[in-house]
């Protein structure tokens, strides 16, 4: 994975995926550039996990190109890639330190190096006292921390993280986000599937929003915000807001309102118009549509669930077995 090349690390072009007579991915194309954090967003059933599994060779695509570092994924690339699947894949009857050391050796580390790294990581994530505890005696969140450690322990150049902080409290979510940011600063490229929009806004350089197997939006966060309509004015006032072709009042309360600004309209001109109309303006703020609002606008009621896609349930066993080897 040569990060000095202009070729994207991940390239997906005209990807199509059929399960029987059902098409779950329709002509999907996007790329991921070296060193960026890329958000892969979508509601349940949108095709995110299907795309990742096809990229990693777990599924054979019906059509299209799915390349990592210029070619289809192969096991020889496994040591340079860290994959954290939504379905965790650890040996739960073994102790934490034995499992981490074992996977470290699979990734090319010596036994002593793998054990030393693992102990330092467990200290970092407040699990040092669990090193000799069997995995199945840990909580789900604790097991998730161990799985993340296994995923990053050899400093992979490409990290694919499927819901890395799912079910975490805010303190542990922030800890894991800090760890992911450290990997990025060290040069890793990160593909992250998440429903947490604050994580996306904090970490991601670019995003794609997938719905029913097609891209609803793709680009930087400001570009995606622009695609879904412009600026909102948050207004604290007294008086009567006049009708205008420059904005639409989308929320009106006693002393507060939100105005959707029409395309191409200068927000400063709106403020002048309001004052000239006799409105007493106590607060005037402008902002782009938030990613949360965009997510709800795109997915509506389908945005409520956070489990893996229904369309991906056909081959869960294959994915689970793979995750144990390539995590």
Q: What are 113-132's pLDDT values in tens digits?
A: 999 999 999 999 999 999 99
Strand ranges (E), the chain: 10-19, 22-32, 37-42, 63-68, 81-84, 158-162, 189-193, 206-211, 214-220, 231-238, 247-252, 256-261, 280-288
pLDDT for 305 equals 46
Q: Which domains does the chain have, with CATH numbers?
A: 10-225 (3.40.50.300), 230-288 (3.30.70)
Q: Contact at 8 Å (CB) between 324 and 91?
A: yes
pLDDT for 6 equals 66
Coil, strand or helix at 190: strand
Q: Give per-residue burial for 38-73: e unless 16+ CB within 10 Å, then b.
A: bbbbbbbbbbbbbbbbbbbbbbebeebebbbbeeeb
Give me the chain's average pLDDT, please.
Answer: 85
pLDDT for 294 equals 85
pLDDT for 326 equals 37
Backbone angles phi, psi at 10, to 5 degrees: -115, 130
Structure tokens given for 301: 């009621």
- Cα–Cα distance, 102 to 99 (Å, whole number): 5
pLDDT for 319 equals 32
- Give me the residues of the chain with pLDDT under 50, please: 2-5, 305-327
First-to-last alpha carbon distance for the chain, in angstroms, is 18
Strand partners, 161: 84, 192
């Amino acid at each position: 994975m040569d990060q000095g090349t202009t070729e994207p690390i991940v390239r997906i072009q005209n990807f199509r995926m059929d399960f029987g007579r059902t098409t779950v991915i329709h002509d999907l194309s996007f790329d991921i550039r070296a060193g960026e954090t890329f958000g892969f967003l979508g509601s349940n059933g949108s095709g995110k996990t299907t795309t990742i599994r096809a990229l990693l060779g777990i599924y054979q695509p019906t059509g299209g190109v799915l390349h990592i570092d210029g070619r289809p994924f192969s096991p020889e690339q496994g040591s340079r890639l860290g994959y954290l699947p939504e379905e965790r894949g650890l040996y739960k009857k073994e102790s934490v330190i034995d499992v981490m050391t074992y996977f470290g050796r699979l990734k090319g580390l010596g036994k002593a190096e793998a054990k030393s790294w693992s102990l330092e990581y467990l200290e970092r994530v407040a699990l040092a006292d669990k090193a000799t505890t069997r995995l199945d005696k840990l909580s789900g969140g604790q097991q998730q921390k161990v799985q993340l450690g296994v995923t990053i322990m050899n400093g992979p150049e490409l990290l694919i993280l499927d819901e890395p902080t799912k079910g975490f409290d805010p303190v542990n979510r922030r800890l894991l986000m800090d760890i992911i940011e450290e990997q990025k600063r060290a040069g890793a490229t990160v593909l992250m599937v998440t429903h947490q929009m604050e994580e996306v806004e904090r970490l991601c350089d670019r995003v794609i929003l997938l719905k029913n197997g097609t891209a609803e939006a793709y680009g930087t966060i400001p570009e995606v915000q622009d695609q879904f309509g412009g600026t909102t004015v948050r207004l604290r006032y007294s008086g009567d807001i006049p009708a205008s072709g420059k904005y639409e009042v989308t929320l009106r309360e006693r002393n507060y309102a939100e105005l959707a600004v029409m395309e191409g309209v200068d927000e400063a001109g709106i403020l002048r118009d309001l004052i000239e109309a006799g409105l007493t303006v106590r607060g005037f703020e402008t902002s782009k549509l938030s990613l949360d609002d965009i997510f709800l606008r795109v997915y509506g009621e389908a945005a409520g669930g956070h489990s893996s896609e229904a369309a991906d349930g056909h081959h869960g066993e294959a994915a689970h077995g793979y995750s144990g080897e390539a995590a």
